[in-house]
Amino acid sequence: MSTTHPSVVGEPPALISTPVAALARANARASSAAEASHSGVWVAIFAITMSFVAFTSALFVREGASGDWTHLTLPTILYWNTLTLFAASATFELSRHAIFVGREFRSASARSGSGWLLLTLALGLLFVAGQFAAWRQLSSQGLYLATSPNSSFFYVLTVAHALHVLGGMLALGWLVRQRLGGQPLRRRSFESTSIYWHFMAVLWLYLLIVLRTKL
Domain that holds residue 204: 74-215
CATH number at residue 147: 1.20.120.80
In a domain, residue 196? The reply is yes
Residue 179: which pLDDT band, with cuts at 50, 70 and 90? confident
pLDDT single digits (tens) 53-77 = 999 999 988 887 777 777 888 999 9
Count the domains in the chain: 1
Look up residue 171 and give its DSSP letter: H
Angle CA(24)–CA(194)–CA(84) in degrees, nearest 5? 150
| Cα dist from 59 to 149, 204, 211, whole Å | 9, 16, 10
User: d(Cα 167, Cα 40) in Å, to the nearest integer?
Assistant: 14
Tell me, yes or no, whether 41 lies in a domain: no
What's the confidence (pLDDT) of residue 187? 80
Residue 105 counted as domain residue: yes
Task: Report d(CA 96, CA 196) in Å as an integer.
Answer: 14
Cα–Cα distance for residue pair 56/75, rounded to 1 Å: 20
Alpha-carbon span 52 to 31, nearest angstrom? 32
Q: Is residue 139 part of a domain?
A: yes
pLDDT at position 36, please?
67
Q: Strand pairing partners for 101?
A: 104
39 found inside a domain: no
Structural domain contains residue 166: yes
> Is 173 inside any structural domain?
yes
